[in-house]
Structure 1
Amino acid sequence: MQAFAALLDRLSFEPRRSVKEDLLVDYLRRTPDPDRGYALAALAGDLSFSHAKPALLRQLAAERTDPHLFELSYDFVGDLSETIALMWPEPEAPSLGHNQPPPALAVIVEALANAARSDVGALLEAWLDRLDEVGRWALLKLVTGGLRVGVSARSAKVAVARLGDLDPAEVEEVWHGLTPPYQPLFDWAEGRAGRLSYRDPAPFRPAMLAHPFDPEKDGEGLDLRDWQVEWKWDGIRVQAVAGLDASGTRVARLYTRTGEDISAAFPDLLPELTFDAAIDGELLVVRDGIVAPFADLQKRLNRKTVGPKLLREHPVGLRAYDLLSLAGDDQRDQPLSLRRARLAELVAQTASPRIDLSPVLDVADREALAAARSQPDAHLDADDAAAVEGLMLKRLDSTYLAGRPKGPWFKWKKDPHLIDAVLMYAQRGHGRRSSFYSDYTFGVWDGAEGEDGASRLVPVGKAYFGFTDDELKDIDHFVRNNTVNRFGPVREVVQSPDAGLVLEVAFEGLARSPRHKSGVAMRFPRISRLRWDKPAGEADRLETLKLLLRED
């Protein structure tokens, strides 16, 4: 466990992705089985412990620390696991196994997997007594599933591939047939066994991603006759995969672009996957052929079950982009032009009202391309145009390559909306940001009159990225010096018309939201820049956002 804790500690303070992967590879090479397999599962998000809840951790801390001091410390630190790890005292009397060495990671994982709910507290307490400060922090992060060390599941799989001479895409393709601690995977990667022969009738295939399009650099000499141009729809990228298992039973699954199986949340779409193929496309809420706003799709996401009303009022459909496999034959090494033709035939043969083909645009030159991006309503119904994020440009001769290869695919998103908002609340971040107030709630002025005769701020969004490290320090300094109220780990800052911090906020779109006091919800908000030059009273008003809402 101590080696895993040291790894997490290094990863949490290392900003460079390449160095993070180097650290992972080194750990996997030095750590014995099965510890390294469980570490890999934790980093890839494939471990969960249903009985280790934050409430239980708070209860354990309350039994060992002064409750008031704990709340003050938690308010300052802003992270439950870190607070408990720092405050956990040495036991007054020898507890269960106190004098034993720190437990192995595998011992912890396997014990929690088999423990009854009533036994989890005693197990955690005994382990906390045997670990040092970093080890306690790592243990609590592990059991709550909140590692937040800046390592994606993809990076973890790349690290495994680097143990030998594997293509990370090969690891991705067999991943869903494996279970921790992945001994067959390590045997294959390190040359002790041949390629894994995992037979899944509906496997996930690593997604191909696009680079942002720079019209000045990437548009130089662009001949659109060599490219397929299509809309970038505002849904979620998915793979719809179906096939027959060894018994002849049809298996159909829906994956996110990162390989998460979300089939259970979309039982209305699965019966439509009657083909033997893998389609790359966009999941959308579609009513009477019209694409609904992303906010409607959000109501279907992250659900284990879906009720009849939600199924009826928010029906989903698949807008097909690409064909990855057909009747057991891998299509990814074929050019896009051929894959597209076969995809069109498959969609026509399937004849499902929930599956259609993403249309291709006929644009002759760069001027027409730019016009389509800025005015999609010239090509589409106004409602459909509102569901377009921009354009996709794909070379007709491109094969389907995992990851984000530079050159064959580009995405050219619409320019974001910009508003000036006022910082209202701030909360500490996680990992290397745990000492800074880096999560911000911001608002705009409402036209309604308050008791003092002045307009009041209403929250319209939250953001925690978009600023530089130096700007983060400046905002943190402002928060600490201008706090007017505290709510646990959250600080309220000064926010009057003549005193406050104005943030220029960029966002992709708006949706109506009855859950928010302002009545609107932002899509992908981020801090664009700090407006130290602008008085808070000159920030935007809610009426401005409502006008944008009508435009969207």
Structure 2
Amino acid sequence: MKRFAELLDRLVLTPSRNGKLRLMTDFFRAVPDPERGYALAAITGELRIESVKPAMLRALITERMDEVLFGYSYDYVGDLAETIALAWPQRSDGEDADQPSLTEIVERLGHASRQEGPRRVEGWLDRLDPSGRYALLKLVTGAMRIGVSARLAKQALADFGGKETSEIEELWHGLEPPYETLFAWLEGRSEKPASAAAAPFRPVMLSQPLEEADYAKITPEDYSAEWKWDGIRVQATREGEVCRLYSRTGDDISGAFPDLIEHMDFQGSLDGELLVAHPAKTEGEGIVTGTFSDLQQRLNRKNVSVAVMRKFPVFLRIYDLLQDGAQDTRALLFAERRKRLEGFVAALDPSRFDLSPLVPFADFADLAGKRESPPHPVIEGVMLKRWDSPYLPGRPKGPWFKWKQDPHLVDAVLMYAQRGHGKRSSFYSDYTFGVWTGPDDALELVPVGKAYFGFTDEELKAIDKYIRDNTIERFGPVRSVRAEPGHGLVLEIAFEGLARSSRHKSGVAMRFPRISRLRWDKPAAEADRLETLQAMLPD
């Protein structure tokens, strides 16, 4: 457990991607099975501990310290595991107690009831130092927040074994913790494990942003063009009777979209964009696409009601064909895959699957004009694909480009701030901002979005100081910041688009808002008005 705790501490404090990769590969090399396998499962979110829940941990700490004091501590620290780890009273014999191994913790909790689990955690907390307690609590809650994605961990495995990341990804869903057969292969002690997953994930091909130096390459003879739809990229795969829907990073999201799964009446694998349809407008017109705000009603739900599925039905706009029956088509050229895809889609349910249309263009100037004036508000640019490109995992340079529309910019006023998590837990780093509405002599701010990135560490410190100096109210971890026509911090906000929203007082919802600039120089009264955003809404 001590080495796992050290790994988490160092991953949290290491900002660089390459540094995190080195830490993980060194850990895999130094730590034996099954310890390293359980650590990998914890980092990738594949470890499920059902016998302990966050509310149980809160109950444990309030048995050891005053509940109000804990509440103040949690408000200051901003992370449940870190707060409990620091506040947990060390018993006098704690330093001399035997330290549990990660394997012992995982296997004992795996067989524990919800009555036994919290008491086992309590006993371990008494035996561990603050770093070990933090690692234990992160392990049981599953909320790592250490700046490591599952894909980065798979990259570390590939580096450790001298393999391609795509090989790891294709095997992943057929493996189970503690991954002993995987490590044996990576260390050259056994053959590559056979993929045990039915309907496996196939690593996606990604595009490069189109830059000015690339403009001359784009001709109709070499590249096809498609609209870039503003949904979420997914892979729909069926093998035999097994259907799976994967995110672009390989997470199985099938359970969240049963209304699409039940219409996957094919054998193969499709790459496309998950979108919401307007059911009342679909019949006789083809699929009419809803907004990204509509799609958000379906995302991150563990259970989806029939009413929600009926109001926000999803469908797949298909980009590519990766598997046609038993044949892997990824090595074929895009022109051939596209031709086969047209026939493949023709046999599917037209209310749940359609083909992403090609965008004909005479030359680059013609394409640039179409990009600036797309036919639908859910389009955020164009995709360009070489006709002669195979489907390659990763982000190869040249075969595929994305050419997104330029972001919208507005000036908004900071209204509320909340503490961040992890290395930002001591700073106010999550910001709610608003724009003005009402007559000039009675201006009122209405919130229009939230952002938590787009600024440097130095700018974060400056914003944090401003927030502390200008707080007018507190609501738990949230601070209300002074924001008046004559006093306020103006933030230049970049965003990809707007949609109407009945859930927000302003009536608008931003797509991918982020802070573009801090406008220390601009008076708050000169920030934008709500009418400016309303004029951007699609008809």
TM-score by length of 2: 0.95
Question: Please, which of 233, 236, 241 is the counterpart of residue 232 of structure 2?
Answer: 236
**Superposed, which structure 2 residues align to 1:145-224 within 5 Å?**
145-214=142-211, 216-224=212-220
1:4 and 2:1 aligned = no
Alignment correspondent of 2:296: 298
Question: Does structure 2 conserve the Cα–Cα contact (< 8 Å) formed by 1:98 and 1:126?
Answer: no
| Helix, strand or coil at the partner of 1:224 | coil
Match of 1:368 among 366, 369, 386: 366
Which deviations, in whole Å up to 9, do the C-alpha atoms of 1:459-488 show, x marking residues without a partner? 211111011222112111211221222222
SS in 2 for 1:373: helix
Paired residue for 1:504?
Answer: 492
List gaps (5 residues or longer) in structure 1: 245-249, 378-384
1:382 equivalent in structure 2: none
Partner of 1:539: 527
Separation in 2, partners of 1:295, 1:436: 29
Q: What is the CA-CA distance between 1:18 and the residue it aligns to?
A: 1.4
Select between 178-187 and 301-310 the one with higher mean Cα deviation. 301-310
Q: Contact (CA 8 Å) 1:174, 1:198: kept in 2 or not?
A: yes
Greater mean alpha carbon deviation, residues 294-303 or residues 228-237: 294-303
Equivalence for 1:77: 77
- C-alpha contact 2:446 2:505 (8 A) present in aligned 1: yes
CA-CA distance at 1:90 after TM superposition: 1.4
Q: Per-residue displacement from partner, 1:147-178 (whole Å, max 9, x unpaired)?
A: 11111111111212222232211111111011
Q: Cα–Cα, structure 1 residues 191 and 35, in superposed 2: closer, same or farther, change >3 Å? A: same
Question: Which amino acid is 1:78 matched to?
Answer: G
Aligned to 1:354: 352
TM-score with structure 1 setting the length: 0.93
Residue 505 (structure 2) aligns with: 517
- TM alignment of 1:33-182, pairs within 5 A: 33-91=33-91, 99-182=96-179
Alignment partner of 1:21 is 2:21? yes
**Aligned equivalents of 1:266 and 1:147: distance in 2?**
26
What amino acid sits opposite 1:205 in the alignment? R
Whether contact under 8 Å (2:12, 2:146) holds in the other structure is yes
Deviates more, 1:78-87 or 1:229-238: 78-87
* Greater CA drift, 231-240 or 218-227: 218-227
Contact 2:256-2:304 at 8 Å conserved across structures: yes
Separation of aligned partners in 2, 1:333 and 1:218? 25
Name the residue aligned to 1:462. Answer: 450
Q: Is the 8 A contact 2:417 2:467 kept in 1?
A: yes
Q: Distance in 2 between matches of 1:90 and 1:353?
A: 61
Separation in 2, partners of 1:306, 1:494:
40
TM-superposed CA distance for 1:75, in Å, is 2.3
Instruction: Report the Cα offset of residue 299 of structure 1.
Output: 1.3
Name the CA distance, whole Å, in 1 between partners of 2:450 and 2:363: 39
Partners of 1:220 and 1:416 lie apart in 2 by 23
2:437 and 2:373 mapped to 1: Cα distance? 30
Distance 1:175 1:46, change over 3 A: same
Residue 224 of structure 1 and its aligned partner are, at CA, apart by 3.4
Distance 2:91 2:480 in 1: 38
Which aligned runs of 4 or more in structure 1 are off by greater than 6 angstroms? none
Partner amino acid, structure 2, of 1:488 = G
Offset, 1:20: 0.8
Per the alignment, do residues 137 and 348 of structure 1 end up closer, same or farther by CA in structure 2, a change over 3 Å counting?
A: same
Deviation of residue 513 (structure 1)? 2.3
Aligned partner of 1:348: which letter?
A
Asked if the contact 1:208–1:402 (Cα under 8 Å) also holds between the matched residues in 2, the reply is yes
In 2, are the aligned partners of 1:506 and 1:526 still within 8 Å (CA)?
A: yes
Q: Over residues 76-133 of structure 1, what are the superposed CA-to-partner deviations in whole Å (9 max), with x where a residue is unaligned?
A: 22222212211211126x6xx8853221111111222221111222112111111111
Picking from 411, 416, 425, the partner of 2:402 is 411
Per-residue deviation, 1:405: 1.8
Q: What letter matches 2:53 in structure 1?
A: K
- Could you tell me which of 328, 332, 335 is aligned with 1:334? 332
Compute the displacement of 1:428 (Å).
Answer: 1.7
Write the deviation string for residues 379-426 of structure 1: whole angstroms up to 9, x where unpaired.
xxxxxx111111111111112111222221111111111111111111
Rate the CA distance shift 1:213–1:353 in 2: closer, same or farther, 3 A.
Answer: same
Contact 1:78 1:427 in 2 (8 A): no
**Deviation, structure 1 residue 351:** 5.3
Which amino acid is 1:376 matched to? Answer: P
What is the aligned partner in structure 2 of residue 321 from structure 1? 319
Q: In 2, are the aligned partners of 1:392 and 1:409 still within 8 Å (CA)?
A: yes
Which residue of 461, 469, 486 maps to 1:473? 461
State the match for 2:437 in structure 1. 446
Whether contact under 8 Å (1:202, 1:251) holds in the other structure is: yes
Distance 2:478 2:197 in 1: 47
How far apart, in 1, do the equivalents of 2:147 and 2:173 lie? 22
1:549 aligned counterpart, secondary structure: coil
Q: Could you tell me how far apart the structure 2 residues matched to 1:304 and 1:428 are?
A: 26
Q: How many angstroms does 1:201 deviate by?
A: 3.5
Could you say which residue in structure 2 is the equivalent of 1:381? none
Q: CA deviation at 1:3?
A: 0.8
What is the one-letter code of the residue matched to 1:134? S
Residue 548 (str. 1) matches residue 527 (str. 2):
no
How far apart are residue 221 of structure 1 and its match?
Answer: 4.0
**1:263-296: CA deviations, max 9, x gaps?**
2222222233222110101111123121111111
**AA paired with 2:381?**
G
More off after superposition, 287-296 vs 98-107: 98-107
- Count of residues in Structure 1 that have an aligned counterpart in Structure 2: 532
Aligned to 1:435: 426
State the identity %. 58
In structure 2, what is the Cα distance between the partners aligned to 1:482 and 1:80? 27
SS of alignment partner, residue 262 of structure 2: helix
Partner of 1:380: none
| Aligned-residue offset at 1:51 | 4.0
Q: Does the aligned pair in 2 maintain the 1:98–1:129 contact within 8 Å?
A: no
Amino acid at match of 1:477: K
Contact 2:490/2:518, CA 8 A, preserved across alignment: yes
One of 380, 385, 396 as aligned partner of 1:389 = 380
Contact in 1 for aligned 2:95/2:129 (Cα 8 Å)? no
Q: CA distance change for structure 1 residues 533 and 98 in 2, over 3 Å: closer, same or farther?
A: closer
Alignment of 1:246-265 (within 5 A): 250-265=241-256
Shift of 1:321: 0.4
Q: 1:57 to 1:532 in 2, by over 3 A?
A: same
